[in-house]
Amino acid sequence: MNLTDWTITEKEFKKENTELNGSRYIIGNGYMGYRGTFEEFGKQELVALNMAGLFDRNGDSWRESVNAPNPLYTKVFAGDSEVSLLECAPSEHERSLDIRHGLHLRKTVFKIDGTLITITANRFLSIENEHIIGLDYTVSADKPVNIIVKTGIDGDVWDINGPHFVIKDKKSEEQINSLSCETIENNIKLVVYEFIDTNSGQYDNSEKVKLLNVFNTVVTPEKPFHFKKLAGVYWGDEVQNSEEMFKESIKCGYDKILRKHNAAWKNIWDKSDVVIDGDEEAQRALRYSLYQLISVAPRGNGKCGIPARGLSGQVYKGASFWDTEMFMQPFFSFTDPQVSRKLADYRINTIAGAKRKAREYGFDGAFYAWESQETGDDACTLFNITDVFTKRPIRTYFRDKQIHVSADMVYGLWEYCNISDQYQILADGGLDLIYQCVRFFYSYAYTKLNKRSYEFLDVVGPDEYHERVNNNAYTNKMIERSAEILLSALTKVKLNYPKYYKEFTEKNDIEWIEDFKNNLYVTSPDENGIIEQFDGYMGLEDISLEDIKKRVIDPNEYWGCGQGIATTTRILKQADVIMMLNVFRKKYSKKILEANWNFYEPYTEHGSSLSACAYAIVAANIGNTEWAYKYFMRTATVDLTGNSRQYLGTLYIGGTHPAANGGSWNTAIFGFAGVSYDDDIIDISPHLPENWKSMSFKLAWKGTELSVHINGNDVKIKAIGVKKNINITVYGKKYDLG
C-alpha cells in the first residue's frame, strides 16, 4: 500500500485483504456508504451500500442497518472468459482512494487468450447531492475483441442478519431502470435508480434479484467501450417524489454533478484540514482520519447519528454510541457547527426512546440507549457476547449499567452550544434533554440517611472489563458536569428565551438541582495524586499485562463479563480515569495528570480503539510528547493498518472506526496544539512532537473563524469574520481579538 498526503494506493490485488480493503477504501456522504469493493464483486466479497438511519429486523435476529441493492454491479466477458479479479490474476492492478475529493479509482489489466483487456472505473458518492452515486467505467483492449458487459442493480446483497428487504418491482423506462423494495419489519420503501448515458445496450429482466443492462460490442485499441452511470437511492418519505428528483439529477448531468461534488469537498477541507510540516506519515494518517469523519457526517435532517462503525456495514447493528459525543462531535463543533447541530438534533429527536428506557428500569427522566437506532430505543441485547469455550451467550451489563451515556449526551450538546455560541437549540428541545438526563441521575442516585452525598452504585464505566462497580470516577464526574450544565442552561434560557423558560419551569420542578450538584460524590486524588477508578479498585489483583496474557487460552476470548481473566485484576480495557482527565484536563494540575498517567498506563490493555487517543492527549498535556506521538499514530492509523480487534468473543466487530478518527483530530488539536477552552476563553499552549516543524489549522469559535499557525514556540492567530470580542490566551498570556 502506497500513500501520499491525499491518496492511498494498492498496486497488487490480494484476495485475502478483501474484507480489510472494503473498509479501508470506503466512500461515503453521510447518507450512505459504499465499501471499497470492485464492480464485479458480490455479497460473498462483502459488497455493501449501507444506509444511514434505515434499520430492519428479520425474525429473531438483531435489528441492524440496511444494505441497499447495489447499483454499480458490473461484469465483463470476453468469449467464454469472465474478465474479473474473481476469476483470473491480473497482469497489472492499481486502485486508489483520493481523499481530497472522495473518489475511488481503479485500473486493472487482464490477459485473456493473448489479449490485454483493461478496465478502468472511477466512482463517487455525491457529498453535494446525498442521493446520487456516479460511476465512470471503461473497457479497452490492445487488439479487437468482442466483449459483453452486464451492468445494473444487484438486489442479492450481503447481510449479517438479513435479508432486510423484499423486491417489489423492477422497471425500465426511458433509459431509467429502477428496483423498488420494502423492508421486512416495517415495510419501509426503498428505491434504487440507474441511468446510463449510452444508447447501445438492452435491458435484461431475466434474473429475479438483478436488473441488468447488456452491451454486446467489439472493443478496438482506437474505440474502447465507455459508459457513465448515475444512480439514485431514496427511502422512506423521499420515495414518493424520488423519480422526479432523480430525473432532475440526470438533467444536471454526470460531469456537473462531479464538479459540484469536488467543490463541496474543497469547501469542507478548507475548514477542517490540519497541515503538518515535517512528518509525512502523520500528515496522511491524520488526513485519512478526517476523511473518514467527513464521509459519515449527517448533513440531512438530523434523523440519524453516526454509527460506531461508520457506514462500513452492519457491525454493532449500525447503532450510534456515546462515541459520537465524546470523540467525534468536538471535530464538527469546531469545524462544521451545522453538522454538530444535526448530531445534537438526533439525540433530541430520540429522547422518547430514552424516556421509555428510564421507565423500563424504574427511573425518571431519560436514560439514553447504549446502542441507539432510529427511535432511540436501546438495540443492545442482554447477551452481547458468546463464550468462545462453551459457545453459550454471556450476560453483559452494557445496556443496563452504562449510565454515563446520558451524561455524554448532555456534554456533547452543551459543547456545541458553547463552541458555536448558538443557544437556540435549548429552546428547540435541548434544555429538556439536559433536564431529563440529570433527572434520571437524580432518580438513580443512592444516598444514606447519615450521608449527604449522592453516590452512583452498580454501574459500568467505559472500562467494560469491570462491570457493576460503585462510584466509577468518569461516571460520577460526568454526572457532576451534567448538573452544572443544567444550571447554566437554565440561566441562558431565562435570559434569552424568557417565555420558554416560564413554560418550562411551570412544567418541571427545578428546586432539587442545586442541592444535587453540590452534594454529588466525586472521587478525589489520594496522597499520591492517584484517583481510584472505582471503589475497591486498589484492592484488586496487581498483575502485569505480560503476566495476564499468559492466562489467555483463546485469542478471541473476552476479558470481562464477570468470569473473564481481567475482571478481578487491575487490568483495564481502557482507563476511565485517563478519559476523565482528558475531558477535564483544565480542572486538574499537571502533577495530578502525570501521576495518574504513569499509574494507569501499565495496566491498560487498550482493548478499545477509543483508549489510545485519551492517553495521547493527556501525555501531550504533561509534556510527554514521545508517548503522545506513539498513541496518536496508533489512533490515526487504525483504519489504514487494520490493526484493531476484529472479534469480541465470537462476534465480528470489524469495519471503520470513526471514534478513533475523531480521537486523532482531538489529539492533534487538544494535545499537540494544546487547545483548551471554557465558556469564554480559548487557550493555546502547544507542545508539538519533535519532528513537527509547524502545524496549521482552523477553528470555528463563537461564530469567528480562527486560523492558527504554530511554528516552534511561535503562535500566529488570524481571526476572520469576527462577530464579537474573542478572548484568547497563548502560553497563559491574554489577548483580545475584536
Active site residues: 464
What is the helix, strand, coil percentage profile of the chain, to 5?
Answer: 35, 25, 40
The three cell numbers of residue 154 are 444487484
The three cell numbers of residue 320 are 450510534
What phi, psi does 334 have (nearest 5°)? Answer: -90, -10
Q: Compute the distance between CA of residue 14 and CA of residue 1 in angstroms, rounded to an integer.
A: 11
Quick check: 246 and 193 in contact, CB under 8 A? yes
The three cell numbers of residue 294 are 467527513
In the three-class reduction of DSSP (H, G, I as helix; E, B as strand; rest coil), residue 732 is classed as coil
Q: Compute the distance between CA of residue 614 and CA of residue 244 in angstroms, rounded to an integer.
A: 48
The three cell numbers of residue 76 are 465483463
Per-residue CA distances from 705 to 335, 684, 726, 738 (Å) = 9, 15, 11, 13
In the three-class reduction of DSSP (H, G, I as helix; E, B as strand; rest coil), residue 537 is classed as helix
> Buried b vs exposed e over 427-438: b needs ≥16 C-beta within 10 Å?
bebbbbbbbbbb
> Buried b vs exposed e over 108-146: b needs ≥16 C-beta within 10 Å?
bbbebeebbbbbbbbbbbbbbbbbbbbbbbbbbbeeebe
Quick check: 118 and 143 in contact, CB under 8 A? no
Q: Compute the distance between CA of residue 284 and CA of residue 15 in angstroms, rounded to an integer.
A: 25
- Number of other residues whose CB lies within 10 A of the CB of residue 725: 11
Quick check: 277 and 695 in contact, CB under 8 A? yes
- Report which of 320, 311, 307, 281 is spatially closest to residue 102, judged by C-alpha positions: 311
The three cell numbers of residue 336 are 462544521
